[in-house]
Amino acid sequence: MNVPSFAFLAFAAAVAALVNVSAAPTWRRAVLLVANVAFAASFSRDSAQLAPFAALLVAGFLALKVLERDKRGSVFVLLLALQLVLFCWLKRYAFVPPALSLPWAYVTVGMSYVFFRVLHLTIDAYQDALGERVGVVSYANYTLNFTSLVSGPIQFYRDYRRTETEAPAPLTRSALGAAAQRIVLGFFKVSVVSPVLLFAHERSGIALAAALFAVYLYANFSGYMDVVVGTARFLRLELPENFDRPFAATGYAEFWGRWHMTLSMWFKTYVYSPLLMALMRRYPSPAAEPYLGVLAYFVTFFFVGVWHGQTAMFLVFGVLQGAGVSANKLYQIAMQRKLGRKRYRALCARPAYAALSRGLTFAYFAFTLLWFWASSPQLAAFGAALGVAGAAAAFACVAFAAALALWLIEAAAAWFARLRAGGAPLASSPYVVTAWCTALVVLTLSVTAVLNAPAPHIVYRAF
């Protein structure tokens, strides 16, 4: 079943109707279990194609049960290593010899996101941080949660359990209205905005294509998130936010704190923090601490980048992500030492400086995405066509245009937020909201009817 699609909404509506028949935790868990298993099974009718995915889940559950009883470090390391090997083998990473791969096609949709949840349970079970013994139903509902199976967001177990059975989110009129608005907006982003941007990207020159792909990726992925976050709310579940206006970021480290936030948080929790603590214990020098943080950031966001694909192209993508965040941190350290914290904050608050920082951040992200969407021959052709000077000029053009465009967007948003109707913000007026959502629904239905296209493709589904 494609997400988002009208079939998905119909399925979710049926589940929402059933799950809200009774507030009893046993009923909620049973309905969600049937829905989650049915949704996962919808990706193939062939049990052989579902078997590898099931094996990953079973291996994770067995590791969890072992670590709930045996906290020895050697056992934890062995189980963690086995799970990593199993995942890389099933995902067919480039370093795995093809001869060792399974000789048939099988379902991998959502495997990476499920694996993050499985690893989280494994690590927290070893650290005795889960707060409870995880039963098979809770494990299945958490790992296979159909609202976030395909492309996330990545939610921690305790946060999921809170609204699954402990304290389901209340179904107030305002909450349901906000959820419906998000679903409408998400469908519009994915079904209308994304195809237009992709069409323009495929027919543009190098610089414009790079910039358009970054915006396309945001519209595509954030639109998907709007749909699933809104859908989950009707089930009285609360999914974590995955985006917070990322192109408003004035630095690359801040950007990754706003873009795919649940992925960044997972890696910060399980890679950055343990690595930094280990480095600080190994090199206990206050003067070295900021630079140890820079090194930990590089390693963390290198893995963030590498996670996005199985080929050598994504090694470069990982290096670029790590380099961008660590260089940003080094710059902040240098400026704070040169100007002091107060003067540096004052500099960052200047509108022109903030606009330039946004433009450079956007341009660097768009540049790194060349290794995300372009093939090796395309990259070679781009390099030959532009040369070093041409590439620098193209980067500068994208940075300047982005700085200006993002400044205008920020100014327009601030101006609109100041508008009032009857003493209340105009943006929250029920008349404005109704008119806006109606227009989006009409546009979305019109475009999908005219194009008669299949459910929209979600880029992050591939991971």
* Residue 281 resides in a domain: yes
Closest CA to 236 of 7, 8, 18: 18
pLDDT of residue 131: 87
Closest CA to 238 of 189, 190, 179, 188: 179
pLDDT, one tens digit per residue, over 393-439 is: 999 999 999 999 999 999 999 898 888 877 778 878 888 888 999 99
C-alpha angle 293-159-186 in degrees, rounded to nearest 5: 90
Taking the C-alpha atoms of residue 338 and residue 331, their distance in angstroms, rounded to an integer, is 10
* Residue 393 resides in a domain: no
Do 148 and 11 share a structural domain? yes
Q: Give the end of a domain, one of 382, 416, 446.
A: 382
* Residue 387 resides in a domain: no
- 418: phi then psi, degrees, rounded to nearest 5: -85, -15
Do 158 and 283 share a structural domain? no
* Residue 219 resides in a domain: no
pLDDT of residue 448: 84
Do 155 and 10 share a structural domain? yes
Beta bridge partners of 243: 259
Do 136 and 269 share a structural domain? no
Indicate the pTM of the whole model. Answer: 0.94
Q: Give the end of a domain, one of 382, 398, 429.
A: 382
pLDDT of residue 223: 97
Secondary structure E strands in 11-118: none
Structural domains in the chain (count):
2
* Residue 439 resides in a domain: no
- 374: phi then psi, degrees, rounded to nearest 5: -95, 150
Do 149 and 49 share a structural domain? yes
pLDDT < 70: residue spans in the chain: none
* Residue 192 resides in a domain: no
Taking the C-alpha atoms of residue 60 and residue 139, their distance in angstroms, rounded to an integer, is 9
* Residue 342 resides in a domain: yes
- Residue 126 structural domain: 6-168
